[in-house]
Amino acid sequence: MTPVSHENPDPAVMRTQYRSTPLLEPDLAPAPMEQFARWFADVSAADLHEPNAMIVSTATPDGRPSSRTVLLKAFDERGFVFFTNYTSRKGREIESNAHVSLLFPWHPVARQVIVTGTAARVGRDETAAYFRTRPHGSQLGAWASDQSAPIASRDDLLTRYDELAARYPDGEQVPVPPHWGGFRVTPETAEFWQGHENRLHDRLRYVREAGRRAAASGGEGPWRVERLCP
């Protein structure tokens, strides 16, 4: 048994009682993206640090999972959009296995949103439009970093960046990397988790009705809601 100390606190005693308003079925929006918009507005108003941070989990074709934190950059009735290097680990795994999970861990307000669905690349026009909004340094970083690939040292990474900064000085347009772009995650389920005391949490999950996926042009399609035991 590992002794309890200031340097090594005991997780068993790190407990928080959540006190919040119940999440009830009549209060939900008809579709998950509308409900997400409501909650996202709440956490944005609560001044959380990076409320658009989400954990993206992917898996290889044989089921080996991996997770990382990325930033949500857009959402609408079609799903959730983030941008990345397509040759990164997550990019390669999505290309071979489109099933993904998203987790928005809004701990300060005792809320989480958990999404499962499939990811697909957005169009190059959409990628280019977003890339133009990125700070100049971030545009250069997308070229400098061969994301997820081994590199000898941080100095090597900085050298790559400095070379690109000399080629594309501030104010000069940086081309969109061909290996970089967006993914849109189309939800199949979306669970809204609200913490409560005594671990009697609310878990309401939207499930897309079988055989009734949204049309290619977008649209929520019919959903049913089920309550899960906490």
Q: What is the pLDDT of residues 85-144, one digit of tens each?
A: 999 999 999 999 999 999 999 999 999 999 999 999 999 999 999 999 999 999 999 999
Measured in residues, the chain has a length of 230
Note the pLDDT of residue 4: 43
Mean pLDDT, rounded, for 5-11: 61
Note the pLDDT of residue 16: 72
pLDDT-wise least confident of 17-31, 80-94, 158-172, 173-187 = 17-31
d(CA 85, CA 143) in angstroms, rounded, equals: 9
Note the pLDDT of residue 197: 87
Note the pLDDT of residue 228: 95
Among 124, 199, 213, 227, the active-site one is 199
CB 118 within 8 A of CB 172: no
Note the pLDDT of residue 139: 95
Total-model pTM:
0.87
Residue 6: is its pLDDT beyond 60?
Answer: no
Residue 89 lies in a domain: yes
**What is the domain extent for residue 29?**
17-134+178-227
Residue 139 lies in a domain: no
Q: Which are the contacts of 202, defined by CB distance < 8 A and separation ≥ 6? A: 22, 23, 24, 192, 193, 194, 196, 227, 230
Residue 75 lies in a domain: yes
Residue 116 lies in a domain: yes
- Across the chain, where does the E strand assignment appear? 53-59, 65-71, 74-76, 79-85, 99-106, 111-121, 180-194, 202-208, 223-227
Note the pLDDT of residue 1: 47
Residue 221 lies in a domain: yes
* CA–CA distances in Å: residue 76 to residues 24, 32, 66, 73, 223: 23, 10, 26, 11, 16
Within the chain, residue ranges assigned H as helices are 32-45, 89-96, 124-131, 136-144, 154-167
Mean pLDDT, rounded, for 193-220: 77
190: domain CATH number is 2.30.110.10
Residue 4 lies in a domain: no
Long-range pairs of 159-165 with CB within 8 A, sequence gap ≥ 24: 164/140, 165/140
Residue 162 lies in a domain: no
* CA–CA distances in Å: residue 198 to residues 10, 17, 92, 110: 20, 7, 41, 13
d(CA 205, CA 32) in angstroms, rounded, equals: 9
92 is catalytic: no
CB 179 within 8 A of CB 173: no
Residue 52 lies in a domain: yes
CB 128 within 8 A of CB 176: yes
d(CA 189, CA 100) in angstroms, rounded, equals: 11
The total number of structural domains that make up the chain? 1
Note the pLDDT of residue 131: 96
